[in-house]
Structure 1
Amino acid sequence: MRILILGHGKTGKLVADIAHERGHGVHVLDAKENRDAAALTAPFVAGFDVVIDFTTPDAVVQNMRACLATGAKMVIGTTGWYDKLSDMRGLAERKGAGLMYGTNYSIGVQVMLELAEKMGAALKGAGYNYTISETHHAGKLDAPSGTAITLGEIVEEASDIEEIRIESKREGDVMGVHVLEARSASDRLVLTHESFSRRGFAEGAVRAAEWLSTRTGCFDFHEVYTQF
């Protein structure tokens, strides 16, 4: 399989390494080579089976518009663009493209989201208040993280709580720590996920690309990750 990787940051580089390990051909475009998505012409994109994007919230929407318009398959690891999700889903459907999105491609995070949903439902109406805290490296541009937002939305829906406060910290080279706390007058329940490296995100993205390569449509990673 031929994979085009957009973004040559730390995670993008690791995605390229893992794709090579799994026997795929890889081509990487950094921001200078793809300013305003100019490199993503239809003939160029047609040379790849899947495109994986780990760029920035500003760049990713232009990249999606260019690639999905050609009917390409895209795995989006970038967050901070979900206000455009409806538009991108519609574009993918109109063009017969494939779009995979997710706030976090770590399998461990997906399990945490499932546990959070069960916790919210089980504690519903029992007098618990929730808080979420997330810590990431200083270079992460969006805050709160997409994972924290997803975590909050899942618990809010399961527990019928209107809004959960999220605390964000940016420091050093922290890969990602997410903590969900449920507290009552009697006790406290805590779910924590801590990433030790970017490898979990990168492996999940490459596996998602392998899965998406034979499909069209729009998919949330959380809804399909158990199929890999």
Structure 2
Amino acid sequence: MLILVLGRGKTGSLVTQVAREHGHSVRVVGEEENRDAMALTAPFLAQFDAVIDFTTPEAVVRNLRACLANGARVVVGTTGWYQHLDDMRQLATRRSAALLYGTNFSIGVQALFRVARELALAAPHYSFRITETHHADKKDAPSGTALTLKQVLQTANPAIDVEIVSKREGDASGIHLIEARSENDAIELKHEAFSRRGFAEGAVRAAEWIAGKNGCWDFQEVVGQLG
């Protein structure tokens, strides 16, 4: 496959490395080369089997509009843009493109989502709190993963309250702690990322999955289908 990676940040650079380890050819375009999505023309995008975006909330919507309007297959690891999701979904459908988005491409976090759902069902009278810790440069708070966890818990049990506490410290790759507490006891679920590699691995596997497809999916919907 030939993959286009948008973003030269820490995660984007690691995605490039992992994609090459998987045997793919990679082209990287940074935000300085792609201001206002100016590099994402139809002839340029036609070269690639998939596009992976790890840019910023400010850049990602323009990138998506350009990619989807030209029928590209896009994996989006950037968060902080979901107020535009319905528009992007409709654009992907109109242009026979493909969009695979997710707040977290770590396979371990996907497992956390499934276990959290079971916890919400098993402890319906507990109060819930999510504490998420990320690196100091992360711009969106709460994290997309924390918001997804809250959604997972409340979808499983709409009666529960879920508080989110956000912390930004140093170079932390990501810690998500779910606490369920009653008068009698407490239950904790925790996922800690030791590096960004888990996110990169998941994103590359997502790009492999989306190649040649048309449609729009949340990563939670397809993670069980990855090779």
Q: Which TM-score tier does this pair reach, normalised by the shorter chain?
A: over 0.9
Of all paired residues, the percent bearing the same amino acid is 59
CA contact (8 A) 2:73 2:210 kept: yes
Q: For 2:55 and 2:173, how far apart are their aligned partners in 1?
A: 16
Match among 142, 147, 150 for residue 148 of structure 2: 150
CA contact (8 A) 2:49 2:212 kept: no
Does residue 214 of the first structure (1) align with residue 209 of the second (2)? no
Q: For 1:122 and 1:87, how far apart are their aligned partners in 2?
A: 36
Distance apart, 1:163 and its partner CA: 4.2
Partner of 1:66, secondary structure, is helix
Distance apart, 1:162 and its partner CA: 5.7
AA aligned to 2:54 is F
Distance apart, 1:161 and its partner CA: 2.8
Corresponding residue of 1:168: 166
Distance apart, 1:39 and its partner CA: 0.5
CA contact (8 A) 1:182 1:189 kept: yes
Match among 164, 178, 181 for residue 179 of structure 2: 181
Q: TM-score, normalised by structure 1?
A: 0.98
Q: Map residues 182-197 of structure 1 onto 2, 5 A cutoff.
A: 182-197=180-195
Q: For 1:110 and 1:161, how far apart are their aligned partners in 2?
A: 23
Q: Deviations over 1:160-217 (max 9, x none)?
A: 2364110000010000000000000011000000000000000000000000002110
Flag as ranges the 4+ runs of structure 1 deviating above 6 A. Answer: none
Q: Which runs of 5+ in 1 are unaligned?
A: none
Corresponding residue of 1:37: 37
Q: Deviations over 1:5-29 (max 9, x none)?
A: 0000000000000111111110000
Q: For 1:32 and 1:16, how far apart are their aligned partners in 2?
A: 17
Q: Which runs of 5+ in 2 are unaligned?
A: none
Partner of 1:207, secondary structure, is helix
CA contact (8 A) 1:14 1:198 kept: yes
Q: TM-score, normalised by structure 2?
A: 0.98
Distance apart, 1:157 and its partner CA: 1.7
Task: Count residues in correspondence.
Answer: 226
Partner of 1:3, secondary structure, is strand
CA contact (8 A) 1:123 1:159 kept: no
Partner of 1:179, secondary structure, is strand
CA contact (8 A) 2:100 2:218 kept: yes
Q: Map residues 1-228 of structure 1 onto 2, 5 A cutoff.
A: 1-124=1-124, 127-161=125-159, 163-228=161-226
RMSD after superposition = 0.8
Q: For 1:160 and 1:62, how far apart are their aligned partners in 2?
A: 35
Q: For 2:64 and 2:51, how far apart are their aligned partners in 1?
A: 10
Q: For 2:35 and 2:81, how far apart are their aligned partners in 1?
A: 18
Partner of 1:105, secondary structure, is coil
